[in-house]
Chain A
């Protein structure tokens, strides 16, 4: 017995056609039609949902869906026509209100109708690809009501008029506006755009074009920007209250274009109130506003940045070429720092720390600072002033702040090697005269320079510090050994300087007084005893001395003088009166130095421990000098030596510049050789570019000088021109 397949229980449809009486369809339709009427006439309460639904269902079921659908269309259309007329009849301000109300009613009606016709919506309509009921309702509303010519034009006009009124300060019904614009959106984004938004934007553009023209004639830049900002915010707020969100960017574009972009140049360059004036008067709020507004338009910030840059460059250039300003280097540098602070503040507080503005500022400073070839010297003098007295009593953090700011200026220098030269000179003077305010501050700056420029830059400077320390130890050893026998004589303090680390000084002649000579010899012997093979030479042009002097009426003073001055003054222990020649001979000090020395002893008010005959300003070979026993000073300690660093005179400056140029030659040659050794063969432009890159942390080499060095290297057979392609150079191993 085989298992029988169990058939599923099936219900089969009628095999014969079920024909329904056509009259039946008509009857059913009439019921539904009537229902629709009632719905539109607000009489829906009397209807039975279940019955209507069933009727609609039956019609569709019995293949009368077409009749139902077309009937629906016809009925709704006629109702909407009537509604449209009633809306058109509304007067003035009531138009929108009426439209809104009727729309709301229509929606409610549609809801009900759709519910009733749900079966058709779900079966007949998809099958026949007809428009679903809800959508049909929207389309009919759109075509019959909104796009009826009378309603369409009036609607547009009233909406735009409302906006215009609101812009002039009137209050309008925003809720109503919101409903209307939502209606348009519901009818389809293209309806919203074509019926409203497009025109709204056009009209707004005209409006703002006129308004901005009016403002620009009557307002200054700051006021104008305030107004522009206000309008912009207004529009944004308008959109958020009663327009579609997508309109925001479109309307703001319109405002930006009409109010800002079209008047960009005029605003920035407005006389007495434009960008430059705002910068000068530090109007942070206005500047911030300008930044925010101009950021919104193409090339807005580019314009602001360019105008700012050329202003900074011009004022900077004026500053560095103004002879008055250049008289006081410390003041000059302080000015630069103040200028930088000012612009930094503007960029941080008004320009939201925009990097492109920072870069523009940096490049401007780099441009004008290097217009003056003395910038490196002046910065070193500024640092010198700070480390001598400017930073006395300042806290560690504040010291760091000042030094960091100086480093900022240092970075802008193209000729860092020139700075190094001066810095070395000034540092030497500070160390040797013991005049530095804080050794920690000195060392901190050296560390910063090392971080910036590498170890080579600072190794010699560090050598100077080492020498000072070592000298201290040496002096201790010296006093320990010779303590007893030198107790009576003058107190000697020696700093032993390693030649390579310190700025080169020419050796000058100078005969020290006998008392000093003896001490010096003792020290020399002591030192050479522990350091054989070294050579010591006394730097008489760099030393100082403290002398105890008693004047005519018994006034005692302590005079702080240079070594030269000491030699001269000691002569007056044995004579009250000496001629120039009688001073020159025994001391053997070179004439120009001696004259300067005598000038500082005899011709400076308050420091004239000597008198000169005749009383002229300059020193002549024929002058006579007398001990000034009438000398007075309210200070016990009188400082006469000129040891502080000073701005160089023109000829001195020329000399230094020449030395710098000379120093650069071997550096350039070394760079050329380094590059050629690695690359073997290279063309001219590339060598110049590479050399410039290699040396950029020290100075900017002149291409002509580079060429000269290359030719010199060719002559000395380090390089040759390539025999095949004479544009190339070749390294000769």
Chain B
């Protein structure tokens, strides 16, 4: 297994084409999660080696074959939330950065939740782009998006209670949805 030096974004791009996977594919993100990669766009030597061992592969072809399994592993309920939170933190590129801009959040939502919660993500993304109360999203709001998708019936939003401890941005989103529906 060639020791690929992947300490650069170009390196990762090359890896992606080798794997036949688009750079923006969610499986790269899953791979980053499995590798516990700290910095977006980079895999360190350590991360790469430890991660491959964890996957039980030692060649690129084997890695390619292991991707579907990796997807299943991520989708396991016990891992999913962890992966979801990781996805957000992966975007915090600057030191002391605590929030991510709306554009990136929309992309991330599509990437991470798009398959499982397509209608919610579509509406939420539309709303985020239209509103101007918030220019960035923080970790607390992020984790509550997932909770929202999992717990709230959609699109009727029947069981949403604004007096509960939902972040304000979701209260506003629900109000916007209800106005649209009426």
Contact = CB atoms under 8 A, between A and B. Distances in A.
Interface of A: 683-685, 688, 703-704, 707-708, 710-711, 714-715, 721, 726-729
Contacts of B164: 683-685, 727
Interface of B: 98, 138, 140-141, 144, 147, 163-165, 167-168, 171
A685 B163 CA distance: 6
B138 A715 contact: yes
Contact of B98 (A683, A711, A715, A726): A715
B165 A728 contact: yes
Contacts of A711: 140-141, 167-168
A708 B138 CA distance: 13
A293 to B, nearest CB: 45
B165 A727 contact: yes
Contacts of A683: 164-165
Contacts of B167: 707, 711
Nearest to A725: B165
B140 A707 contact: no
Nearest to A703: B163
B163 A721 contact: no
7 contacts: A685-B163, A711-B141, A714-B140, A715-B98, A715-B138, A726-B144, A726-B165
Contacts of A715: 98, 138, 140
A684 B165 contact: yes
Given A684-B164, A704-B171, A728-B165, 8 more contacts: A707-B171, A710-B165, A711-B140, A711-B168, A715-B140, A721-B165, A726-B144, A729-B165
A704 B168 contact: yes
Contacts of B168: 704, 707-708, 711
Nearest to A687: B165
Nearest to A722: B165
A85 B167 CA distance: 96
A721 B140 contact: yes
Contacts of A684: 163-165
Contacts of B98: 715
B92 to A, nearest CB: 14
Nearest to A714: B140
Nearest to A720: B140
Contacts of A728: 165
A379 B173 CA distance: 40
A684 B164 CA distance: 6
Nearest to A705: B168
Contacts of B144: 726
A721 B167 CA distance: 11
B172 to A, nearest CB: 9
Nearest to B133: A708
A715 B138 CA distance: 8
A688 B171 CA distance: 16
Contacts of B138: 715
